[in-house]
Amino acid sequence: MNFGEYFRALRKSKNVTQKEIAEEIGKTTMLVSGVETNKNKPFAVSDLNKIAKFLGLNAQEHRDLLKEAAKARGVFPSYMLRYFNDHDEAYQLLDIFVDKEIGSSSLKKIIRYVEELKNV
């Protein structure tokens, strides 16, 4: 799923119109439509933060919105970059994943393991 499809589904799940989003961030409905059809790039982070608040997103939904927009731009979201900048080990771990070409099934196992650690 691309960002436009993701955003449209999120907006509709909250029963909000393109016009309401446009008014909230001070942009045109045409721009919002363009984002949803992938004719325009994702919204700026400042607009995404306003949208998240307007839609009443919880913390995880907000992070997911920022993550999906960043992926569409080919960058890491700023909250992840802050973490990487504070933890060189995170870069090292990603480097290992890339170097060893760790695939989805192994990554899913690692995620489950880390989730278990988080609950300890």
Residue 120, pLDDT score: 72
Distances (CA, A) of 22 to 11, 45, 46, 104: 12, 15, 14, 37
- The domain segmentation of the chain, as residue ranges, is 3-86, 93-120
pLDDT of residue 81: 92
The CATH number of the domain covering residues in 3-86:
1.10.260.40
Q: Rounded to an integer, what distance in angstroms lies between the CA atom of residue 91 and that of residue 107?
A: 16
Q: What is the pLDDT of residue 79?
A: 87
* Residue-wise DSSP of 22-67: HHHHT--HHHHHHHHTTSSPPPPHHHHHHHHHHHT--HHHHHHHHH
Q: What is the pLDDT of residue 13?
A: 97
Residue 71 is predicted with a pLDDT of: 96
- The whole-number mean pLDDT for each consecutive block of 10 residues of the chain, a chain of 120 residues, reads 96 98 98 97 97 97 96 93 93 93 95 88
